[in-house]
Amino acid sequence: MSAQDWSIQEIAKLAGTTSRTLRHYDDIGLLAPSRVAENGYRHYDQAALVRLQRILLLRELGLGLPQISEVLSREGVREASALETHLAYLREEQNRLSRQIAAVESTINALKAGESLMAENMFDGFDHTRYKEEVEERWGKKAYADGDRWWRSLSADEKAEWQQRVSDLSRDWAAAAESGAAPESDEAQALAKRHVDWLTGVPGTPTSALRQAQGPNAEVKAYVTGLGEMYVADPRFGANYATADGSTRGAEFVRDALRTYAEANL
């Protein structure tokens, strides 16, 4: 690392943030300046810039500031190693998004030209198999096989309808959280019911047992409440319910509403 450093104003401009945000990061112990000049201005060296880059990357993954602080404080790895992990994830997302963009552009062009849609190309990048190992580890190989078989059996229109249903549900959850609704409110509980109904429609998940279940089902109840906890703990899923401030507030709202619904109905 060189001895070069940058003023708080320079770093705020380069990082697309504000001096106020950087001062807040300092106040909560997340990012301290490398030195404070005689005039009181904060300055940041290269090590501080690397830490700020990691903070911003974790923010984009949907983590709140307390979670980011916990992640950075508990990691016993070199910064370069941690950034390599971030880079691998970003490249994977870049590839997936590029494929999605190409698929959507192809659909738009076909619709404008009045041409037939190529169903086999429409969903490139919408790859549910990328979670195969994780699903098998959490719920078993049969759960993944059942879900995969069900998804592949759907027509292009049915897949599009299903994805729209998921998108609408995520949007409505985020809107309810932004409105300040309580998890136990009628609005939140109606969303929780929609959420469980959605899960019920996916073969292989424990909630598919709801179709035959009579009375309380401990396995399903534990699954729904556990899923809510995962939305908060795993930024990949929590990002689906992110509020405008980028915090985990939306995911926490979903978790609490699902827990309330499960306690009363499952």
Q: Give the length of the chain.
A: 266
Q: Is the pLDDT of residue 214 over 50?
A: no
pTM of the model: 0.49
Helices (H) then strands (E): counts for the chain: 13, 3
Residue 79 near residue 54 (C-beta atoms within 8 A): yes
Q: Where does the pLDDT of residue 145 fall: very low under 50, low under 70, confident under 90, or very high at 90 and above?
A: confident
Q: What is the DSSP string of 188-219?
A: HHHHHHHHHHHHHTSTTSGGGGGGT--S--HH
At 141 the pLDDT is 72
Residue 146 near residue 226 (C-beta atoms within 8 A): no
Q: Where does the pLDDT of residue 31 fall: very low under 50, low under 70, confident under 90, or very high at 90 and above?
A: very high
Q: For 61-86, how does the pLDDT look when each residue is reduced to its tens digit (9 = 90+)?
A: 666 778 788 777 765 556 676 677 66
Q: Is the pLDDT of residue 217 over 70?
A: no
Strands (E), the chain: 5-7, 35-36, 42-45
Structure tokens at 92: 């994977």
At 29 the pLDDT is 92
